[in-house]
């Protein structure tokens, strides 16, 4: 089960890493709120037939009393609303970050959730061992070498938005950690996209001037992000995080930054410097260290 969940999260990181370009290209045509709204609605639509098929071919459900079914539906809706609200704020913040800083710096600051997740976990009594903290430190160093190739930090709007983004995605990971063992992951993912699409749509109407022609021009990056990043990626995240330590989950998901660089090198012929290669090696080493079984006392 642990290996399966790790593979699902690795697939998620791969999808997100390749979708990062789509996020940037999409905003050449539409605003950040419009982009988040469109891709979220597509993600929800993609999951509707999946849910219908799973309801038909899935294993028979255990007998439940009407009260148990009512509580189950209530928990599902609450989980979807909570995940969707946090995802909406985090996604919009990430899109705004891309408008004010480089892709590399945005990727590095967003992936700092690998440090924020265990720190927040300490507030709720979830302790991490020395092995996990060492993995986090190695991964942070790898992310720095991988993403921060154009200079250091400066306290500007892009940096502040990026750090806020790291905190918000940390909250999203922890909310999923809480609800994923209590509800159907695919259904909760569908609800979260509905909520995310509605909230970002409201923000879009107030903050932007959406035009159908612009959305149609950006249909390729929006469709890829909606189908793959949302419909497939975030659903696999919910399923893969079920029963997984959120610190380890955040480490695996942070590979999206590493995979985006490798994809550019392998598929687009972009140059991979020695510094970026070192960053990739460090991140993979951190993931392997985190997955090593602990010694039995």
Whole-number pLDDT of residue 147: 63
Cβ(143)–Cβ(254) below 8 Å: yes
pLDDT at 99: 80
- Radius of gyration from C-alpha coordinates of the chain: 19
Residue 84 burial (10 A CB sphere; 0-12, 13-18, 19+): buried
Going from the first residue of the chain to its last (297 residues), give the mean pLDDT of each consecutive group of 10, the final group possibly shorter: 82 81 78 92 92 76 77 93 95 85 66 75 72 77 69 64 85 89 89 95 90 88 89 86 80 76 63 72 71 52
- Rounded Cα distance between 283 and 157, Å, is 27
Residue 152 token pair: 């250091």
Give CA–CA dist 201/106, Å, rounded: 24
According to the model, what pLDDT value does residue 296 have?
Answer: 45
Other beta carbons within 10 angstroms of residue 209's beta carbon come to 9
Q: How far is CA 132 from CA 71, 108, 124, 245, 270, in A?
A: 36, 19, 17, 10, 33
**Nearest to residue 91, comparing CAs of 47, 33, 45?**
33
């Amino acid at each position: 089960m642990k290996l399966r969940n790790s593979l699902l999260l690795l697939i998620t990181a791969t999808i997100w890493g390749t979708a990062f370009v789509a996020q940037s290209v999409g905003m050449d045509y539409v605003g950040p709120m419009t982009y988040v709204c469109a891709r979220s609605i597509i993600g929800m639509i993609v999951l509707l037939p999946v849910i219908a098929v799973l309801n038909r071919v899935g294993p028979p459900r255990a007998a439940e009393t009407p009260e148990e079914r009512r509580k189950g539906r209530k928990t599902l809706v609450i989980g979807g609303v909570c995940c969707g609200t946090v995802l909406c704020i985090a996604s919009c913040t990430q899109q705004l970050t891309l408008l004010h800083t480089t892709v590399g710096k945005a990727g590095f600051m967003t992936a700092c959730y690998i440090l924020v997740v265990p720190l927040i976990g300490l507030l709720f009594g979830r302790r991490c061992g020395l092995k996990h903290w060492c993995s986090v430190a190695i991964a942070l160093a790898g992310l720095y070498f991988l993403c921060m190739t154009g200079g250091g930090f400066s306290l500007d709007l892009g940096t502040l938005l990026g750090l806020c983004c790291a905190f918000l995605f940390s909250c999203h990971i922890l909310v999923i950690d809480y609800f994923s063992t209590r509800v159907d992951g695919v259904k909760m993912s569908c609800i979260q996209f509905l909520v995310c699409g509605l909230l970002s749509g409201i923000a879009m109407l107030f903050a932007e001037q959406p035009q159908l022609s612009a959305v149609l021009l950006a249909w390729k990056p929006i469709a890829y992000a909606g189908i793959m990043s949302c419909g497939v990626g975030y659903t696999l995240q919910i399923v893969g995080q079920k029963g997984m330590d959120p610190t380890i989950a955040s480490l695996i998901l942070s590979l999206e930054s590493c995979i985006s660089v490798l994809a550019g090198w392998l598929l687009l012929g972009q140059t991979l410097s020695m510094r970026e290669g070192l960053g990739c090696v460090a991140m993979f080493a951190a993931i392997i260290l985190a997955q090593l079984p602990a010694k039995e006392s």
